[in-house]
Amino acid sequence: EAGVVQSPRYKIIEKKQPVAFWCNPISGHNTLYWYRQNLGQGPELLIRYENEEAVDDSQLPKDRFSAERLKGVDSTLKIQPAELGDSAVYLCASSPPGGLAGFEQFFGPGTRLTVL
């Protein structure tokens, strides 16, 4: 079974430029998460999708961050414009439907963003 796929793995941009990250979850997983992991910290949730619906985006900085999950499968996270403080690893995770299994999240390898 293929795992969570993310691209690109690394991205270097200058501040004020836009950037986008892509995630393909595990087949059959209806819940998708985007996390930001700052250096030396644990992941922090940015947004959670149940199928196409964003059910928790309370931690997403909506002035510059946006996300979409068309057709309830792949997802894209965008930052426009990027700031120096956005340098971090952006992790995508997915979980299967139903009960306790829904609490078990499977993570992708992440995208390491460097903003210069």
Partner 1 sequence: AQSVTQPDIHITVSEGASLELRCNYSYGATPYLFWYVQSPGQGLQLLLKYFSGDTLVQGIKGFEAEFKRSQSSFNLRKPSVHWSDAAEYFCAVGGRNTDKLIFGTGTRLQVFP
Binding site for partner 1 (CB under 8 A): 4, 33, 40-45, 48, 55-56, 91, 93, 100, 103-110, 112
Q: How far is the CB of 31 from partner 1 (least distance, A)?
A: 9
Q: Which is nearer to partner 1, 43 or 79 (CB)?
A: 43
Q: Which is nearer to partner 1, 81 or 109 (CB)?
A: 109
Q: How far is the CB of 81 from partner 1 (least distance, A)?
A: 27
Q: How far is the CB of 108 from partner 1 (least distance, A)?
A: 5
8 Å CB contact between 6 and 23: yes
Q: Which is nearer to partner 1, 34 or 115 (CB)?
A: 34
* E-assigned strand segments in the chain: 5-7, 10-13, 19-24, 31-37, 44-50, 53-56, 65-68, 75-79, 88-95, 106-107, 111-115
